[in-house]
Each structure stands twice: as C-alpha cells, then as structure tokens.
Amino acid sequence: MSEPALSPEEQAARADLLERARLLFAGRVDFLKSAPALKFLPDPEVPEIAFAGRSNVGKSSLLNALTGRKSIARTSVTPGRTQELNFFEVGEPTRLRLVDMPGYGFAKAPPKVVEQWRRLVRDYLRGRVVLKRTLLLIDSRHGVKPVDDEMMQMLDEAGVGYRVVLTKADKIKATDLAQVLAATQAAARKRTAAYPQVLVTSSELKLGIEDLRAAVLEDSEI
C-alpha cells in the first residue's frame, strides 16, 4: 500500500526534517561509554534512541551507515558480541544519544548470561526517563521470528514506543521483500507500542538511511 500524498506544507516540513537530520549526522558522533549495569549509565541529560535486534541482524552495520562512519559501532560475524549498553553522542553540543543494546536470541549463551541480558534490557527500558523511542531491527530475510515477538512483548510491557526497521533489504528479492514487509506491518499493528510505519533499510546500499536519520531526529524531539 502506497503512502498518502503529502500536502505542500507537509512536503516542506518533510524536506526540512531530512535536511536537519543530514546536517546533524554529518557533524559530531562520538562513542561515550559502555554500561554493563544500570549503575554505569550516563546521566539522563539528553534524549536517547535505542537500537534493539536479534544477534547478527546487522545492528552495528546499520549504526555505522546511519552515522556515516566506518566503525563507530564494531561489526562482527560472531553473534552476541555486544553484551553491554553502548552509548554514542550526536551533535555539538550533544543533541541526542544512540544506544546500542545487546543482541538477543543467542542460542548458545549460558542461561546466566541470557538472564543478565534480560534484566539489563528490561530495567533500562522501564526506567530510563530520557528514552524516546526504540528501533527494533528485523532481518528482511527472515521476518519476525519468535524471539522478535518476545522483544515486542517486552517493549509493550515497558510502555516504550518503538519503530520496526527491516535490515539487509539488498539480500532478498523485491517480491519476497514486499511479502516480508506486509507480514511485518501486520505483526506491528497487533502490538500496543509499535509505530505503524515499518522502515526498510540496507546498510550496504544506504537504502532507507535518509529516512532512518529523519526518524531518529523526529523521535528525539517528541
């Protein structure tokens, strides 16, 4: 289904948002710190946008593409490498923070590690007053998996609004992508805290990155 046509005023506002987002991410983006527990969180001084996703969903690559950097977030072929909350500051002075959350769904992790992940993520989502939005990354090749449903449930229970972002759209045929997009939108509509629009991205082709930047900036200003 195509998006409804924008009025001239809406088109102008959209163009302004896209340009402000471009300029913001063309400026300062720095790693701030890692937090293995809530006591290590930075002071809640600016809006935060969190990134969640199954292990190996392409979260680090998307963060690199979003910020226009090659290695602002480490990439790895080893699932579950990120086991802390990693904070990145954007803007000078700092306008917002990006939060790289630990990947979920790591089947080989010991139960104790999985429980630590659940506690850290759940407590951050429920108690972080400056958290404006979570971006939930879903691999286009697989669609919404049971572990993604579990994460959606956690976000719903925490009352945290979230956008669903399909990653690796270049790795799937256009017809298959359309089917996955429709199924993902249907899944999002069943969730109380999910944003209805699903973003489609490819880190390699930079597909959807401009819209993602605009979404991050827009969400940080709510």
Q: Cα separation of 110 and 121, whole Å?
A: 17
For residue 179, being part of any structural domain is answered with yes
Residue 127 phi, psi dihedral angles, 5° rounding: -115, 0
For residue 97, being part of any structural domain is answered with yes
Question: Looking at residue 1, what is its pLDDT?
Answer: 46
For residue 67, being part of any structural domain is answered with yes
For residue 114, being part of any structural domain is answered with yes
Angstrom distances, CA of residue 164 to CA of 133, 136, 175, 176: 11, 5, 20, 18
Exposed / middle / buried, residue 30 (Cβ in 10 Å: 0-12, 13-18, 19+):
middle
For residue 2, being part of any structural domain is answered with no
Q: What is the mean pLDDT of residues 5-10?
A: 89
Contact 55, 75 (CB under 8 A): no
Q: Crossing angle of helices 209-220/59-67, nearest 10°?
A: 80
Question: Looking at residue 175, what is its pLDDT?
Answer: 97
Contact 205, 170 (CB under 8 A): yes
Residue with tokens 């979260």: 59
**CATH number for the domain harbouring residue 133:** 3.40.50.300
Question: Looking at residue 82, what is its pLDDT?
Answer: 55
Find the farthest-apart pair of alpha carbons in the chain and give their distance in angstroms, rounded.
55
Q: What is the mean pLDDT of residues 118-136?
A: 95
Question: Looking at residue 78, what is its pLDDT?
Answer: 44
Q: Which residues pair with 165 in a beta bridge?
A: 137, 199
Which one is predicted more confidently, 116 or 176? Answer: 176
For residue 1, being part of any structural domain is answered with no
Which one is predicted more confidently, 195 or 4? Answer: 195
Q: What is the mean pLDDT of residues 164-189?
A: 97
Q: Which two tokens stand for residue 164?
A: 């669903």
Please check the confidence at residue 76 and state whether its pLDDT lies above 70.
no
Q: What is the mean pLDDT of residues 9-29?
A: 96
For residue 208, being part of any structural domain is answered with yes
Question: Looking at residue 106, what is its pLDDT?
Answer: 67
Angstrom distances, CA of residue 119 to CA of 28, 31, 44, 112, 189: 32, 24, 20, 11, 27
Number of domains in the chain: 1
pTM: 0.92
Q: What is the mean pLDDT of residues 28-44?
A: 94
Domain extent at residue 72: 8-220
For residue 62, being part of any structural domain is answered with yes
